[in-house]
Amino acid sequence: MLIIDDNNNIVLTRGDTLTLTVALQKDGESYTPDETDVIRFAVSKGYVTDAGYELMIEKTIPYDTLTFTITSEETKIPYKTYNYDLQITHADGCVDTFISSKFTITGEVE
């Protein structure tokens, strides 16, 4: 089961596959990335040590399709609400975070 609410919170059943195509907007306008943009989707436990965040899932999204898949195996992480973001690193090093919200893994029937 997949739910994405109006605040971009994602709820996904543990063990399910997730394929998403993202739409990007910058300053209220549609943004079309180019081949120099590195687009990343990342799920983390949040700030856990002085070293930073513990990443649970990380995907690089192709600039030309804006589609990515998280496999069934990758979603077999502990039931919990995590943080996620979608960001672009431009060729000049500038980073834009387009979405920052919650990613919840819910129960499955075994």
pLDDT digits (tens, 9 = 90+) for 12-67: 999 999 999 998 888 889 989 999 999 999 999 876 666 677 889 999 999 999 99
Instruction: Tell me the per-residue pLDDT of 22-31, one tens digit each, with 9 for 90 and over.
Output: 988 888 899 8
Neighbours of 110 (CB within 10 A): 5
Instruction: Tell me the per-residue pLDDT of 75-110, one tens digit each, with 9 for 90 and over.
Output: 999 999 999 999 999 999 999 999 999 999 998 776
Domain parsing of the chain, residue ranges: 2-106
**Sequence-separated (6 or more) residues with CB below 8 Å from residue 48:** 54
Whole-prediction pTM value? Answer: 0.88
Measured between alpha carbons, how far is 32 from 24 in angstroms, rounded to an integer? 7
More confident position, 25 or 8: 8
Measured between alpha carbons, how far is 64 from 60 in angstroms, rounded to an integer? 12
Q: In this structure, which CATH number among 2.60.40.10, 3.30.565.10, 2.40.30.40, 1.10.1270.20 belongs to the domain 2-106? A: 2.60.40.10
Q: What distance, in Å, lies between the first and last C-alpha atoms of the chain?
A: 15
Measured between alpha carbons, how far is 87 from 35 in angstroms, rounded to an integer? 15
Question: 10-13 and 95-106: which strand pairing?
Answer: parallel
What pLDDT is attached to residue 8?
94
Q: Which of 38, 41, 36 lies closest to 10, judged by CA?
A: 41
